[in-house]
């Protein structure tokens, strides 16, 4: 496996060129940008109108909860980059870690409430699209705070012996971005559809790449090798290939079972 890992991860510049070619191919593909974003989300999201946000009269390509998760993940990474701890190797202290886990748990509780409502079971409140988005954003932020140190420990040869978000000021900065994104996403302003959708779908691909990249690097026994940013190119190239295979398989299954449109709602 180490020999295979060397072949895959030993050519970062070539991998960077291939990533660039993939980007050019996607941009030049004949479909509209909105259709491409819808297609990326198609494999993992039911895309039900009643669970989705609209900008003008156009539906977002991914449902509100997933929009929150992936958007919140991007927001978390941006906040961490702004405080210059993108290569932090340590997990947050217990109080901050409890906040991250609480954010994820809050979304989980709202999701359970929504499932119970769909099954016509008693629920404490009627599910709301805005609440789906808000809890998803907090969960995505929590995932970023937990996942980034894991990614850094697996990928990098060395990094900073600190947590990505170390204090309440850092968390406040991230939450400010969450509020701004939330207000933008619910604004229903038509021209904001594409930038919000690009952030969300980009977050989907980024989170899938981070997860599959960690698994792939661990599988091939190539952990702790990256020293420069360009060394991440093979990681993300392989991760995108794995993500494409997963999305392709799930999209094909959904297409043959439910057809090309949104999946039916239970309620």
**What's the pLDDT tens digit per position in 152-192?**
999 998 888 899 998 899 999 999 999 999 999 999 888 99
- Identify the burial level of 201 via C-beta atoms within 10 angstroms of its C-beta, where 0-12 means exposed, 13-18 middle and 19 or more buried: buried
Q: Which candidate, 168, 147, 149, 165, places its Cα nearest to that of 84?
A: 165
Distance set, CA 238 to CA 39, 156, 206, 213 (Å): 20, 17, 13, 7
Q: Between β-strands 54-55 and 58-59, what pairing exists: parallel, antiparallel or unpaired?
A: antiparallel
Residue 182 confidence (pLDDT): 98
Question: What pLDDT is stored for residue 5 in this prediction?
Answer: 55
> CA dist 28 to 4, 24, 61, 69, 194, Å?
32, 6, 20, 28, 17
Grade residue 4 by pLDDT with cuts at 50, 70 and 90: low
Per-residue pLDDT tens over the stretch 91-118: 999 999 999 999 999 999 999 999 999 9
Take residue 79 and report the two structure tokens written for it: 């906040």
More confident residue, 73 or 160: 73
pLDDT (0 to 100) of residue 15: 86
Q: Calculate what percentage of the chain has a pLDDT beyond 90.
A: 67
β-partners of residue 58 are 55
pLDDT digits (tens, 9 = 90+) for 248-266: 999 999 999 988 888 888 7
Q: What whole-number distance in Å separates Cα of residue 257 and Cα of residue 168?
A: 47
Taking each continuous run of H as one helix and of E as one strand, the counts in the chain are: 9, 2
pLDDT for res 260: 87
Q: Give the whole-angstrom CA distance, residue 234 versus residue 257.
A: 35
| Number of neighbouring beta carbons within 10 Å of residue 250 | 14
Between CA 225 and CA 227 the distance in angstroms is 6
CA distance 224 to 127: 44
Give yes or no for residue 7 having a pLDDT over 80.
no
- Position 210 pLDDT exceeds 80: yes
Q: What is the mean pLDDT of the chain?
A: 91
Segment among 14-28, 114-128, 162-176 with least mean pLDDT: 14-28
State the Cα–Cα distance between residues 80 and 174, nearest whole angstrom.
Answer: 8
């Amino acid at each position: 496996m180490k020999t295979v890992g060397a072949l895959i991860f030993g050519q970062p510049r070539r991998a960077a060129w291939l990533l660039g070619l993939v980007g050019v191919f996607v941009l030049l593909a004949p479909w509209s940008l909105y259709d491409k974003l819808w297609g990326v989300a198609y494999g993992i999201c039911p895309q039900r109108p009643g669970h989705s946000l609209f900008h003008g009269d156009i539906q977002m390509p991914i449902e509100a909860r997933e929009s929150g998760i992936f958007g919140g993940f991007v927001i978390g990474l941006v906040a961490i980059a702004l405080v210059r701890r993108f290569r932090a190797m340590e997990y947050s202290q217990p109080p901050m870690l409890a906040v991250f886990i609480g954010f994820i748990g809050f979304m989980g509780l709202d999701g359970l409430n929504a499932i119970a409502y769909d099954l016509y079971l008693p629920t404490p409140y009627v599910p709301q699209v805005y609440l789906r988005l808000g809890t998803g954003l907090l969960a995505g932020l929590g995932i970023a705070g937990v996942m980034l140190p894991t990614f850094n420990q697996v990928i990098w040869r060395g990094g900073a012996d600190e947590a990505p978000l170390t204090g309440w000021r850092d968390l406040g900065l991230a939450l400010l971005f969450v509020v701004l994104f939330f207000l933008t996403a619910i604004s229903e302003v038509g021209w904001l559809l594409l930038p919000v959708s690009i952030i969300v779908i980009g977050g989907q691909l980024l989170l899938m790449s981070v997860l599959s990249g960690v698994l792939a690097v661990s599988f091939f026994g190539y952990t702790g090798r990256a020293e420069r940013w360009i060394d991440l190119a093979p990681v993300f190239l392989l991760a995108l290939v794995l993500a494409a295979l997963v999305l392709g398989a799930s999209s094909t299954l959904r297409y043959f079972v439910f057809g090309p449109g949104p999946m039916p709602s239970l309620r």
